[in-house]
Amino acid sequence: MIECNFDGSLCPHLNLIGGGWTIEENGTQIKTGCDTMEVEGISANRAEYFALYKLLNDLVKMKLNKKKIHIYGDSRLVINQMTGRNQMSSGIYMEMALKTRDFYKKHYNGNIRFQWIPRGQNAEADRASRLNFPI
């Protein structure tokens, strides 16, 4: 089984959002990833979706997207929208949310279980989300 965590972060004074993610296979960590993107309009939800999008892309690149996957995140909004519990409505994050949802639908066949976790249980993905920010 593949277990993953994702988290987004903000660097508002530089208009950057960051994403961090971890990937484990059968209890062994096989990757920690991070990326940043300059944007107009900083939003925590946008950063969370950016992190999830990058994680989903990594899983496809690593040819893991056909396996059983459990994804954990500390954003209730993202988890609930990806599972269909909440509708996507409007906001600055919507472009990234729709891009993530469309990528998910194209490359995954329902083999992912999304689960919300408290922020304190997402420390490694949170740390990774800030790695590329200038000090």
State phi, psi for 114 to the nearest 5 degrees.
Answer: -95, 140
Q: What is the pLDDT of residue 41?
A: 87
The two tokens of residue 1 are: 């089984």
Q: How far is CA 85 from the centre of its chain?
A: 18
Interatomic CA distance for residues 7 and 51, integer angstroms: 6
pLDDT along the chain (135 residues), means of 10: 97 95 96 96 95 98 96 97 90 94 93 96 96 86
The two tokens of residue 34 are: 């991070």
Q: What is the pLDDT of residue 62?
A: 97
pTM > 0.85: yes or no: yes
Q: What is the pLDDT of residue 127?
A: 96
- Domains along the sequence of the chain with CATH: 2-129 (3.30.420.10)
DSSP percent split of the chain into helix, strand, coil, nearest 5:
40, 30, 30
Measured from the Cβ of residue 98, the count of other Cβ atoms closer than 10 Å reads: 12
* Terminal alpha carbon distance of the chain: 36
State phi, psi for 62 to the nearest 5 degrees.
Answer: -90, 5
